[in-house]
Amino acid sequence: MLSVSNLDVRYGQFRAVQGVSMNIDQGDIVSLIGANGAGKSTLLRAIAGALPIHSGRVSFKQHDVTTTSSSARVKQGLSLVPEGRRLFADMTVEENLLLGTTVKRSGDWSIERIFATFPNLVKRRHAKTGNLSGGEQQATAIGRALMSNPDCLILDEVSLGLSPLVVDQVYASIDSLKDAGTTILLVEQDLERAIRFSHRAICMLEGKIVLDKLTSDTNKEEITHAYFGLQ
Ligand code: ATP
pLDDT digit string, tens, across residues 34-83: 999 999 999 999 999 999 999 999 999 999 999 999 999 999 999 999 88
Model confidence at 4, in pLDDT bands (50, 70, 90)? very high
Q: Indicate which residue's Cα is closest to atom 19 of ligand 1.
A: 37
Q: Which one of 8, 10, 14 would you pick to mutate in the ligand 1 pocket, going by the greatest count of ligand atoms within 8 A of its CB?
A: 14
CA distance linking residue 45 with residue 85, whole number of Å: 13
For strands 55-60 and 2-11, give the pairing: antiparallel
Q: What residue ranges line ligand 1, CB within 6 angstroms? A: 11, 14, 16, 34, 36-42
pLDDT at 168: 86
- Percentage, residues of the chain above pLDDT 90: 69
Contact 201, 174 (CB under 8 A): no
Q: What is the mean pLDDT of residues 183-196?
A: 92
pLDDT at 172: 85
CA distance linking residue 109 with residue 113, whole number of Å: 6
Q: Which one of 18, 36, 202 would you pick to mutate in the ligand 1 pocket, going by the greatest count of ligand atoms within 8 A of its CB?
A: 36
Q: What is the mean pLDDT of residues 147-171?
A: 87
Sequence-separated (6 or more) residues with CB below 8 Å from residue 126: 92, 93, 94
Q: Is the pLDDT of residue 84 over 80?
A: no
